[in-house]
Structure 1
Amino acid sequence: MPRPNREEQFETGEICIVHAVQRCVRRAFLAGVDAATGKDYSYRKEWIRRRMEALASVFGIDVLSYAIMSNHLHVILRNRPDVVASWSDAEVAIRWLRVFPGRRMEEHLAEPTEHEVKVLAANSERIAEIRLRMSDISWFMRSLAEPISRLANKQDECTGRFWEGRFKAQRIVDEAGLLACSMYVDLNPVRAAMTSDPEKAPHTSAFDRIQASQGKRIDSAAFDLKPVPTEEAAKQIRETPVDELREQRKAKKRNPTGKRIKRDAWLAPLTLSPDKLSGDAEVNRDGVRASDKGFLQVSVREYLRLLRWTAKQNIDGMAAAIPSSLASTLTQLGIDASMWRDLVWNWQKYFGKSSCVGSPDSMRLDAKRCGKHHHQGQASASACFI
């Protein structure tokens, strides 16, 4: 069955949440240990994580959860056209030029200047087009995939695809589906038997949140959103040797803003703020993510407790009784607590072929939005909901 058109799943001008899966070509372990050659490419997972972190600082898109595996990537994204609408034309221009600097004579400089920002900001038609792209999940995934592919091909001295093709997308239509999907994503390394403990699974959002709760900080990969003064750029080109400029650029790439941040600061906060109005964009002012808006009505502590419990239920038919406090959280969302383990561990059975994730009622409503009678997987998922 062909995948649905993107416009059926999400629209640029509409806030929605999407679970995206991007696989390496032929499912080869291009970010892990290559079984054929024995080479270990695991360090490429950090390439992918840092690129996501950098893009989170410029796009109007929140990264909610992620897991980077040896041959594929899971990420849950929420597009924020309301956040992009709050940016000035100059802000839109500098953000775009940071991701797409364009071809230029001085590739060793590759820093947007004040003049370039002003010229682009003055082009109202172009800025309107870019605004749409800055909250477009497809453009975010493109901006993530292409540089990683070029970098890996350059390192391997080869050409061709790194990623299999266009990413798979599942629209998440309610909080019950979002909690289950986030848990599924965070437990990918546990499911793959890479570890039995989420605390020992780097390159996942759960690991980042656990590390941040312990006070761990990292060098920020966020883009510097200040353009270079035009005169300063010209002076650099005239007076600084090309090799030195290239070294300066490499050094700045490692930490463009010079900031050290909490390990999860670039991710969207997990918990929704009850004191905020539902229509409040909660724009982030630190330049590390699109907004400060949470996405679940549970605390980080409750989420991690449920995550750890679920991680231990790895044998079919051997699940322990879920603690009453955790069961209460699930019941409030309409999830059958006795089916929680099965829902998360056997995710593919329920939602593997579906383009939509959520409770049966929410999936039914979304099917109507798309002009369909129902979504695939809707009937099987009903077993896990009250």
Structure 2
Amino acid sequence: MTKARSSLISIDATPYYHCVSRCVRRSFLCGYDEHAQQSYEHRREWIEKRLFALAGAFCIDVCAYAIMSNHYHVVFHINADKAKHLTQHDVIERWLAFHQGPSLVQRFMQGDELSEAETERCGEIIEVWRERLTSISWFMRLLNQHIASEANREDKCTGHFWEGRFKSQALLDEKALAAAMAYVDLNPVRAAIADTPETSSFTSVKARINAIENDKTDVEGLFPFVGNPRENMPEGIPFQLMDYLELVDWTGRQCREDKCGHIDNRTPEILNRLGFDSVEWLDAYKHEEKGTLIGTESSIKDALPLLGRKRLCGFRLPAN
């Protein structure tokens, strides 16, 4: 049964979400369609470009992404504080980057004299836009509508391109965030499209590795890693980047060798810090797409009233 988006996404429960959109029937987002004998590889650039453009306008950060042949994954961070501190002009400029604004707002931007009623109405419109700049639903709408329109125009057809509403999962704690990001970044490896993370095209992990190779600390458009939680912590993902890359590499090797039951004796430091042992980590990774809530049992219980839900559901990660 379809759940209301308000019961799946709530900034009060968590700012982190894993979202997935899949193409309808045999439609190809990108890659090579053996059935049609046609390459759609160039569409990867469409979605990556649109993803970063929207992230630059919205107060929503991209933590991880992977663009596959008939679906894509994104892990988002909703930056509510950033939205609160935007000026009215900032909000307008960001929203109008992808929309046509009413003449009233255009007059406001031009500095025209407005009546008291017009000023009040303009302020109301701006506050609605401010709220939408933190909405994953609006972000995904603008992303998917654009890609669907471009693909249908190229295919010279009409109708649905996407399977339906995008799927979203609330990531309620650091364990859930780490598992979701690794799951997303390792999609090409798991699908046998790439051998290693650094050869996984159109993924966030490849972009981060390329930045390191070019002596850069951050990737423009991606939420940065800022290290372990501490006082006066800057905005970013609460892990060390090198710990995360080691974790992804280790997890990828376990996935390929899982049928042989092989578990590497070396465990990345981040696993110890998050309270996982290697078996627990792999279990969380393998079940990443199950359920709409992911976290420890206590995290899920705390989030239920914030999401307007009563039943204890979702994939439960082990507590420390």
TM-score range, shorter chain: 0.7 to 0.9
Any stretches of 5+ residues in structure 1 without a counterpart? 105-112, 218-261, 283-292
> CA 1:194–1:169 in 2, change beyond 3 Å: closer, same or farther?
same
> CA 1:129–1:14 in 2, change beyond 3 Å: closer, same or farther?
farther
Distance 1:6 1:194 in 2: 33
User: Residue in 1 aligned with 2:253?
Assistant: 312
Question: Residue 147 of structure 1: SS of its match in structure 2?
Answer: helix
Question: Residue 358 of structure 1: SS of its match in structure 2?
Answer: strand
Question: Residue 57 of structure 2: SS of its match in structure 1?
Answer: coil
Question: Residue 178 of structure 2: SS of its match in structure 1?
Answer: helix
Contact 1:66–1:205 (Cα < 8 Å) also in 2: yes
Query: Pairwise mapping of residues 99-248 of structure 1 onto structure 2 (< 5 A)?
Result: 99-101=98-100, 117-118=109-110, 122=119, 123-215=122-214
1:197-246 deviation per Cα after TM superposition (whole angstroms, max 9, x unaligned)? 010001111001000111189xxxxxxxxxxxxxxxxxxxxxxxxxxxxx
Query: Pairwise mapping of residues 63-82 of structure 1 onto structure 2 (< 5 A)?
Result: 63-82=62-81
Question: Residue 97 of structure 2: SS of its match in structure 1?
Answer: helix
Distance 1:371 1:103 in 2: 38
The normalised TM-score by structure 2 is 0.87
User: Residue in 2 aligned with 1:375?
Assistant: 313
- One-letter code aligned to 2:198: E
Contact 1:170–1:354 (Cα < 8 Å) also in 2: yes
> CA 1:204–1:40 in 2, change beyond 3 Å: closer, same or farther?
same
Distance 1:275 1:12 in 2: 22
Shift of 1:16: 1.5
Distance 2:155 2:185 in 1: 30
> CA 1:30–1:265 in 2, change beyond 3 Å: closer, same or farther?
closer
Shift of 1:355: 0.7
Contact 2:19–2:168 (Cα < 8 Å) also in 1: yes
The reply on whether 1:270 has 2:211 as its aligned counterpart is: no
Shift of 1:177: 0.7
Shift of 1:184: 0.5
Distance 1:337 1:215 in 2: 32
Query: Pairwise mapping of residues 8-47 of structure 1 onto structure 2 (< 5 A)?
Result: 8-11=7-10, 16-26=15-25, 28-47=27-46
Any stretches of 5+ residues in structure 2 without a counterpart? 113-117
The normalised TM-score by structure 1 is 0.73
Contact 2:62–2:222 (Cα < 8 Å) also in 1: yes
- One-letter code aligned to 1:338: V
Question: Residue 99 of structure 1: SS of its match in structure 2?
Answer: coil
Contact 1:211–1:263 (Cα < 8 Å) also in 2: no
1:105-157 deviation per Cα after TM superposition (whole angstroms, max 9, x unaligned)? xxxxxxxx975734799511111111110111100111111111111111111
> CA 1:11–1:377 in 2, change beyond 3 Å: closer, same or farther?
closer
The correspondence for 1:358, drawn from 289, 295, 305, is 295
The reply on whether 1:301 has 2:236 as its aligned counterpart is: no
Contact 1:90–1:118 (Cα < 8 Å) also in 2: no
Percent of pairs identical after alignment?
Answer: 35
Distance 2:20 2:26 in 1: 12
Question: Residue 48 of structure 2: SS of its match in structure 1?
Answer: helix
- One-letter code aligned to 1:210: I
Question: Residue 375 of structure 1: SS of its match in structure 2?
Answer: coil
Distance 1:201 1:339 in 2: 25
1:273-332 deviation per Cα after TM superposition (whole angstroms, max 9, x unaligned)? 756636xxx6xxxxxxxxxx2122x311111111112111212243233414x1x42132
Shift of 1:333: 1.3
User: Residue in 2 aligned with 1:52?
Assistant: 51
Distance 2:53 2:249 in 1: 29
Question: Residue 25 of structure 1: SS of its match in structure 2?
Answer: coil
Query: Pairwise mapping of residues 275-354 of structure 1 onto structure 2 (< 5 A)?
Result: 277=232, 293-296=235-238, 298-313=239-254, 314-316=256-258, 317-324=260-267, 326=268, 328-344=269-285, 346-347=286-287, 351-354=288-291
